[in-house]
Amino acid sequence: MQKTDVSQQAINDIFHLIRSGQLEQAELKCAAMLINHPEDVNVVGLHGAILLKLGQTDGAQSALQKTIELEPGFAKPHEDLGNLFLIKKKYGQAAHHFSEAIRLDGREASAFGGLANALAQLGKVDEAKAAHEHFVKLSPVVGTLLEAERLLNAGDLKSAEQLCHELQRREWDNTQVLRMLARIASDDDRHVVAEGLLRRIISLSPNEYLPYHDLGRFLVEQSRFPEAIEMFEHAITLNTGSADNYHLLADALAVIGRSADALAAYRNALQLNPENPQALAGQGHMLRVIGNKDEAVACYEKCTSVRPEFGDAWWNLASLKGYELSGEQLQTINSQISTDKLNEASATGMHFALARAFEAGGNFESAWQEYVIGNALKRTLIQYDPVQTEAMHDTIIEQFSAEFLNCMATDPVSQQSPIFILGMPRSGSTLLEQILASHSRVEGAGELPYVVVLSSSLGRQRADGLRYPQVMSELDKGQLESLGKAYIYHSSVHRKLDRPCFVDKMPTNFAHVGLIHMMLPNAKIIDTRRHPLGSCVANFRQLYAKGKNHTYDLVELAEYYLDYSRVMDHWQQVLPGRVLRVQYEDVVADLEGQARRMLDYCELPWEDACLDFHRNTRPVNTASSEQVREPIYTDAVSFWKHYGSQLEPIREILAAVIPN
């Protein structure tokens, strides 16, 4: 290697700037040194590495190639060039330079890691696997992190964290270690710690896209969508070639109702990876939300064409009102189900799709068999504890007594009045929201997670283990008002119209009527009901994108309905007149009468537009998006009776709430 004229202290100063995240200053210092020492191989190579971290790939490539010319036996610039060509998706050149780095110095684990990545992208699976094995063998950090991940997946968070802390003592700024610690803290519900670690990684690597990507995903999990969107957008500025960043950005934009922006982001993702099934399905769903059914069908059909094993796409197609799967499509689904390679999640979607196809043909016995298989598969993929759910409802009923609710009166925290539509899913809540959102003073905001988020946050950091709802008795009037203001603030992200009222139709809010009453005293609360057997059948026929884990076992579903009914009876007892009960079947039979009843309860004047709800072109992000764009129809009211003979196992459970 050529002799250097620059002092080691000067080089150390640059490394200190890099470690502290001051990359621009480090680059300026290198550039200044190169004026007097243009061929100092250490400074030229370091300058190239810094430019690469800054995302200035053209300048980095020039500097690194010059470094190799100055010192052909220098391994590091070959490795840096390998990383540069990975970014440019020139995987053959990347593999060449990683191989050269390994030939010159086979002791660097990172070169084997880069080579494994490049070979995998080239489809050289066996060679990539061999390179990865060398990578793990040479990197004690990687081996330890793999063991920590194994412990984490096994549920032993304490041991996993201990391993990582031991690593951190040796390598305090290793971002992979910090990333694992953040994941452990998040899984342990120490969200403040997890966020602090993720932000520290950003401070150490401010010009790398992955830390922003990771923080964005974390913020989505916390329902902090505007902040997540900001992270994804910044990640995209640092790496415009990542389809995953665009896809995640689109998902977050879709949640807060920015439909046009979400569609644009999905399209950007598909430009980078035209056969990405998640992005194709996401784009199809967003087109469905805005009412563009034909384009949604085209998206879903393309998804099934390029990825016939992608079960969600088949379900999305089959669940579109009026769409019928062709004989060829059914043959494809059956051939996929018969293979051993299909995973449970994909098989679930396909069985639900087959069920809908049988329904369309009037073969309800075969349809039910497919629903039973699909629900059983889905039940293995989710976590739900009916005993825990019942215990939580018991605690809520005990805490929110009439005496407790009457002792704490708060003032309205906003001039905007939330209208909560709650109850069982698939009980007509989307129809009620569409009727109300057709009023000039009401905006439909969809299913908002913030009541659940706020309730879950109460007591989370307490050392004594007390949580919501027990901690409610310790809150004063000011704290309750702060909770109400937090709800209004978070929900504002989903509201695009300057209207005095908005609808939040999160079904599970039924358990939190007491909390809503205390923190938002001016809120209106509507309990939407459906015949118990009709409700259970509607849920058993639905494959939800996320949540609603109580719906995939018929007995658990019936028991949940019974518990829901019990909780709502409690609210009627302790808060008489506070909640308006609306029966779905009554709305279908007498739309105007029930619409007037709801508007009177919400203290809103009558508007004829509420009867023309199907003309409302607003985006609707639920399974009923097609139905609410049609005039009222009666088909769904008695649809459950097609499955009357299959419902015997739950009739006895629901006997007390089934109307005569």
List C-alpha distances in Å: 94 to 33, 72, 104. Answer: 29, 17, 16
Which amino acid, residue 370?
E
- Convert the pLDDT of each residue in 105-121 to its tens digit: 888 878 888 999 899 88
Q: What is the pLDDT of residue 525?
A: 98
Alpha-carbon distance 147 to 137, whole Å?
13
2 pLDDT exceeds 50? no
Top-confidence residue, 624 or 125: 125
Q: Write out the two tokens for 659.
A: 């109307």
**627: pLDDT confidence band, cut at 50, 70 and 90?**
low
The 10 Å Cβ neighbour count of residue 620 is 23
DSSP string across 254-271: HHTT-HHHHHHHHHHHHH
In the chain, what are the domains?
Answer: 8-140 (1.25.40.10), 170-343 (1.25.40.10), 386-651 (3.40.50.300)
Mean pLDDT score of the chain, rounded to an integer? 90
The residue assigned the tokens 């300026």 is 28
- Residues 11-35 have a mean pLDDT of 81
Q: What is the pLDDT of residue 290?
A: 86
Closest listed residue to residue 126, CA positions, set 137, 134, 116, 113: 116
Alpha-carbon distance 332 to 652, whole Å?
40
- Convert the pLDDT of each residue in 270-307 to its tens digit: 998 888 888 999 999 999 888 888 999 999 999 999 99
DSSP string across 253-320: HHHTT-HHHHHHHHHHHHHH-TT-HHHHHHHHHHHHHTT-HHHHHHHHHHHHHH-TT-HHHHHHHHTS
Pairing state of beta strands 442-444 and 524-529? unpaired
- Residues 37-50 have a mean pLDDT of 89
- Convert the pLDDT of each residue in 517-551 to its tens digit: 999 999 999 999 999 999 999 999 999 988 899 99
- Convert the pLDDT of each residue in 323-356 to its tens digit: 999 999 999 999 999 988 889 999 999 999 999 9
85 pLDDT exceeds 70? yes
Alpha-carbon distance 240 to 243, whole Å?
8
List C-alpha distances in Å: 494 to 243, 253, 283, 504, 548. Answer: 25, 10, 19, 10, 21
Q: Is the peptide bond before 532 cis (omega within 30 degrees of 0)?
A: no
**250-254, 558-562, 592-596, 632-636: segment of lowest average pLDDT:** 632-636
